Amino acid sequence: MIAGSQWSRRGLLGAGCLAGLGAGLGMSPAQAADAASAAPGAWPTVSALLDRYVAKRRLPGALAAFGWGDAPLAIVARGTEAFDDADAMGAQSLFRVYSMTKPVTGMAAMILIDEGRMALDQPLADFLPEFARMQVAIDPEKGLESRPATTPITIRHMLTHTAGFGYAGITQNKVGEALLAQGVTPAIASRMVVPGLTPPVPTPEPAEFLKRAAAVPLVAEPGTRWHYSMSLDILGLAIQRAAGARSFARFLQDRIFRPAGMHSTFFRVPRRETGRLATNYGIAAEVPVPLDRAADSVFLDHTPFAYGGAGLVSTPADYDRFLRLILGKGLIDGRRVISERAVALGTSNLLPPGADTRRTFIAGAGFGAGGRVGLGADEGQFGWSGAAGTVGFVHAKIGLRAGLYVQFMPPGVLPLQQEFLDATRQDAMAMLTGARA
């Protein structure tokens, strides 16, 4: 997503991260929500985790957001939006959610599929003819020598990272290098030139972006392997064309953000909102260094197009409304935004039969419309994370929605994402089993 192997991020919700949460409790989601809301001392382990990070000044602030069923949001917030900012972290603070954009784009595609304007196994080339004749790298570790793809890329492949695309800065081979060298980098991080982070070539406008993206070989035959990629960014442009929308950003605004009451979710942060934007930090030798400050954030700038894989800035309150939408099967505050059928499809395992997920972010799990899908003991989970440390997921089996909001890069330099998932599991299990007892 962003240049440089040291900035490459690991995926969230790894297999078993919340395994067994809710299993054997014999509760419906509604019963679990009632039980949890009645339990005293909610989220103590999560609170202690955030306390530790802020007290040791590893981060200026951190926020966790939880909700049961359709109940109001519960916030655990510590610290401030920046080390030099007195504003406390809160539900209306703005965070770069990066790849947590992917499930939003995935649900946008589900809307069109439900309306018959797209089909799950329809060729991508029906909307973006640039990708009609793709090549596949024979050995992407060694070079770009290629052969013709034998399988057309489909919308299913785009949703599930099985199209075979690379990802500039994350795909560490010759394909990734070629994407980076040609500016096929649908992400922004900072105005500063940061070695290993700043793309060497600016990202072009959509037509040229698609042309360059299609000219670089795939890393795998479509449908055969899960490979984290820029597919959701390309899919956003396909959604725009399929919907006949002025832009992908406008489509999201009209079909998801406005009807769901998400009024503080942006691809470009309005200058009047900079006071709410948290500073993003780069962690170097365990020291947080400002990477993108609010007052001169790169997220105040125009980008060539709305990056459907990594472009959104949102608040804990807003993103929780998206999670409520998923948990509510397309309903929020009594209003139907997405059909129940579309949400059910998008949160199901959409991986092509036989797709290899071994040694990947999602080994042992499924993948739906832009997010990991829990299988077995993890059934009911759907969500993903972001390159600046954020996490967002739902657990439909027990009616839980949860998010972590911090701003640091690269996320793998601190173990906070996994610690948050572990702490959430511990506290949720304590609430549910304690209330039942």
Q: Give the chain's domains with CATH numbers.
A: 5-105+247-436 (3.40.710.10), 119-243 (1.20.58)
Give the CA radius of gyration of the chain. Answer: 20
* Residue from 132, 339, 370 nearest 236 by CA: 370
Which one is predicted more confidently, 191 or 35? Answer: 191
> What is the signed CA dihedral for 22, 26, 32, 34, rounded to 10 degrees?
-160
Give the three-class secondary structure for 403: strand
Tell me: pLDDT of 1 over 70: no
CA distance 197 to 250: 29
Say how far apart CA 414 and CA 423 lie, in whole Å: 15
**What is the mean predicted confidence (pLDDT) over 368-378?**
96
Q: By the 8 A CB rule, do 402 and 21 touch?
A: no
Q: Quick one: pLDDT at residue 16?
A: 44
Beta strands in 83-230 (DSSP E): 85-88, 95-98, 135-137, 146-148
Residue with tokens 């960014």: 233
For residue 41, pLDDT beyond 70 = no
CA proximity to 405, closest of 77, 67, 58 = 77
pLDDT value at residue 22: 61
Q: In the beta sheet, which residues pair with residue 135? A: 148
Q: Identify which has the larger pLDDT, 192 or 122.
A: 122
330 is written with which tokens?
């397309």
Cα–Cα distance measured from residue 146 to residue 137, given in angstroms and rounded to the nearest whole number = 4
Q: Which two tokens stand for residue 131?
A: 């990708």
Gap between the Cα atoms of 393 and 407, Å rounded: 18
Provide the 3-class DSSP secondary structure of residue 130: helix
CA dihedral (73, 77, 82, 87) in degrees, to 10, reads: 80
Chain mean pLDDT for the chain: 92
Tens digit of pLDDT for each residue in 400-414? 999 999 999 999 999
Residue 10: predicted pLDDT: 40
Least Cα distance to 106 among 384, 400, 397, 390 occurs for 384
Q: How many CA atoms lie within 13 A of 166 on its CB side?
A: 35
What does the angle CA 270 – CA 309 – CA 200 come to, to the nearest 5 degrees?
Answer: 85
DSSP 80: E
Q: What contacts 258, CB < 8 A, 6 or more positions away?
A: none
DSSP string, 241-269: HHHT-S-HHHHHIIIIIHHHT-TT-BSS-
Of 3-17, 19-33, 101-115, which gets the smallest average pLDDT?
Answer: 3-17
pLDDT of residue 42: 82
Q: Which helix (H) or strand (E) holds 232?
A: helix 231-243
Q: Model confidence at 40, in pLDDT bands (50, 70, 90)?
A: low
Q: What is the DSSP string of 294-338?
A: STT-GGGS--SS--TTT-EEE-HHHHHHHHHHHHTTTEETTEESS
- Identify any residues that bridge with 80 across adjacent strands, giving them in sequence order: 88
What is the pLDDT confidence band of residue 3, given thresholds at 50, 70 and 90? very low
Would the pLDDT of 173 be above 60?
yes
Instruction: Output the pTM of the full model.
Output: 0.94
Do 239 and 109 meet the contact criterion of CB atoms below 8 Å apart? Answer: yes
Mean pLDDT of 48-76: 96
- Written as one letter, the residue type at 276 is R
Helices (H), 61-205: 101-114, 155-160, 174-181
For strand 372-373 and strand 381-385, is the pairing parallel, antiparallel, or unpaired? antiparallel
**Is a pLDDT exceeding 70 seen at residue 36?**
no
- pLDDT value, residue 68: 94
Tell the residue number behind the tokens 């949460």, with chain if given.
Answer: 21
Query: In the prediction, which pLDDT does 262 show?
Result: 98
- Residue 331 is predicted with a pLDDT of 98
- The span from the CA of 49 to the CA of 222, in Å, is 41
Task: Name the pLDDT band for 198 (thresholds 50, 70, 90).
Answer: confident
Quickly list DSSP for 12-67: SS-TTTTTTTTTTS---HHHHHHHHHH-SS-SHHHHHHHHHHHHTTSSSEEEEEEE
Q: Report pLDDT digits (tens) over 210-232.
A: 999 999 999 999 999 999 999 99
**Band of the pLDDT at 38, cuts 50, 70, 90?**
low
pLDDT digits (tens, 9 = 90+) for 333-358: 999 999 999 999 999 999 999 999 99
* Interval 425-434: pLDDT, tens: 999 999 888 7
The rounded percent of the chain whose pLDDT value lies above 70 is 91
